[in-house]
Amino acid sequence: MEALLPVLQNHPGTSVLLCSLMFRVVHSLLQNLPVPKAVAVDAFRSWKWRNLSVSLVHSLLTGSWALSCVLIWPEILHNLHSYYTPLSYLLICVSTGYFVQDAGDIILTGHARGSWEFLLHHAMVLWCFLYALYTKIYVGGAVVALFVEVNSVTLHLRLMLKLAEAQSTSTYKVNRLLNLFTFIAFRLSAQFYLTWYIVSNYSWLDHAGFFLSALVMMNAMILVYFYRLLRSDFFRPRKGHVTQNGTHNDKSQRFLTD
């Protein structure tokens, strides 16, 4: 790993592209897996299922990787600005490659208009992660930001169960509770810690104003998502459910984003 780090640091753009190609290979391999009937009969659901499958692989990989980095090197938490290890740098390369691949998948398959929120999120993440890779600053911050991928595992499972029309199953109900817990424990807490760190050290951090602005935008988006999640899963009947004749009463597939 020590020998690999100089190569990654000298060619971060190439490293990101290689990681992006790796996730594209994962995308191709996942096409061979069977899908639920409710997914197979609908073109949008089929695309969304494939897209979420790759996202799930990314979340499982990077969420556990980020937690492992902090457990092994707790100094990351105390020095988000300049402390990093070869393994944490590689993590950001891999994750950045995924976001490039996912943005490309959304745009090239013609789903950009309906997925603009995801593209906005990806654009902000890519800007921050690429800055970290090219400057070797805030790599630790990017690692902590990837704590949210622990929650993304349950979020992706939630949407995949909705695609499969399995909202009434015990699996969905258990995942609903796990999703709420991981949203608070890993997504909200990670964002709060990153925001607190920038505010507390604003006077000396590089480009603190830009990163604080990005965090504020991300925080606003996350709070909106949290409200949608609570509204959809806990506070009122879900829209877009399947009617008795088997059709969907949601014209725009909005139920998949609630």
pLDDT tens figures, 59-110: 999 999 999 999 999 999 999 999 999 999 999 999 999 999 999 999 999 9
Per-residue confidence (pLDDT) for residue 250, from 0 to 100: 45
Closest CA to 50 of 22, 21, 24: 24
Q: Is the pLDDT of residue 255 over 50?
A: no
Confidence of residue 123 (pLDDT cuts 50, 70, 90): very high
* Stretch 162-191: mean pLDDT: 96
Confidence of residue 114 (pLDDT cuts 50, 70, 90): confident
Which residues partner with 242 through β-bridges? 248
Q: Is the pLDDT of residue 127 over 60?
A: yes
Q: Is the pLDDT of residue 57 over 90?
A: yes
Per-residue confidence (pLDDT) for residue 248, from 0 to 100: 45
Rg (CA), the chain: 19
* Stretch 220-237: mean pLDDT: 90
Q: Is the pLDDT of residue 249 over 50?
A: no
Paired tokens of 174: 């258990």
Question: Measured between alpha carbons, how far is residue 244 from residues 196, 207, 247, 248 in Å?
Answer: 49, 55, 7, 9
Q: Is the pLDDT of residue 240 over 80?
A: no
In a domain, 250, yes or no: no
* Stretch 19-26: mean pLDDT: 96
Paired tokens of 86: 């070869």
In a domain, 254, yes or no: no
List the domain range (segments joined by +) for residue 79.
4-31+38-234
In a domain, 136, yes or no: yes
Mean pLDDT of the chain: 90
Per-residue confidence (pLDDT) for residue 243, from 0 to 100: 42
* Stretch 138-153: mean pLDDT: 98
In a domain, 84, yes or no: yes
In a domain, 99, yes or no: yes
Confidence of residue 4 (pLDDT cuts 50, 70, 90): low
- Rounded-to-integer distance, Cα 132 and Cα 256, Å: 32
In a domain, 132, yes or no: yes
Confidence of residue 151 (pLDDT cuts 50, 70, 90): very high
pTM (predicted TM-score) = 0.89
In a domain, 241, yes or no: no
Q: Report the percentage of the chain scoring pLDDT > 70.
A: 89
Per-residue confidence (pLDDT) for residue 1, from 0 to 100: 58
Q: Report the percentage of the chain scoring pLDDT > 90.
A: 83
**Residue 25 identity:** V
Paired tokens of 223: 């709070």
In a domain, 183, yes or no: yes
Q: Is the pLDDT of residue 111 over 70?
A: yes
* Stretch 221-249: mean pLDDT: 71
Asked if residues 142 and 89 have their Cβ atoms less than 8 Å apart, the reply is no
* Stretch 21-28: mean pLDDT: 96
Number of domains in the chain: 1
